[in-house]
Structures are given as C-alpha cells and as structure tokens.
Amino acid sequence: MPWVKKEPTDPLPWIVAVVAVGALSVGLLIGYAQWGSTAAVVGAVEKELSERENQMKHLERRLSAMEAIVLKDGNETAASEKRPQPSKNSEASASKNGFRTGLPGPVQSKESRL
C-alpha cells in the first residue's frame, strides 16, 4: 500500500542488539580460549580418578585380608602360649630358626698344644 506512510524506525535498538550479540560472541570465544583446554582434560582426569579409586578398593581388600591373617596368627600364638613349649636351648630349634649351633663341650684353641 503505497498511500500508507511508514514512520521511519529508529536504528538505535538495532545497534544495541547487534552490539549485545557481538559482545556475547566475543565473551564466549574468550571464555572458550581460556577454559576450553582445561575442560578438554576433564575426561582424562575422570578416567584416572576412577582407576585410582579401583586401585584403592583393591588395596583396601588386600589390607583387610592381611589384617585377618595377622589376627588369625595372633589368636593361634595366644593359644600356643597356653601349651607348654619345648626347651628353648635345643639345637633343633636353634638350627630351625637359622641360628648357629656350637659344638657341645669345651672350646679348644687352634694353637697346638706341643
């Protein structure tokens, strides 16, 4: 309709909108440049964290198994202390424990007696 006259629109709202969209775009690019490399590492860090958690669970299971063994040995030791022990001076127990056993009898010098 050519006989209807349009009022000229003010370009100020368009300029404000373009500047706002441009500022938002520039802000996103700067943010990605600054934190994008850090965000890319998150997947690798999460994977390593889950591996460490699995290792910790494994070590905790081993520790609890070792504690059970030690407690069982402690209970057996306490029970064996109630029983009479064999003589501690015997050569058999000394050699079994890795100690040297001396020759029974007097010590002889290596010098000749002549």
Q: Which residues contact 86 (CB under 8 A, 6 or more apart)?
A: 93
Per-residue model confidence (pLDDT) at position 94: 52
- What's the pLDDT score for residue 66? 93
Q: Which two tokens stand for residue 114?
A: 């002549």
C-alpha–C-alpha distance, residues 91 and 99, integer Å: 9
Radius of gyration of the chain (CA): 44
Q: Which pLDDT belongs to residue 100?
A: 52
Tokens of 54: 């699995």
Domain boundaries, the chain: 13-78
Mean pLDDT by 10 residues, the chain (114 residues): 73 92 95 84 92 96 93 76 56 53 52 53
For residue 50, what pLDDT is reported?
Answer: 96
pLDDT of residue 27: 94
> DSSP readout, 26-60?
HHHHHHHHHHHHHHHHHHHHHHHHHHHHHHHHHHH
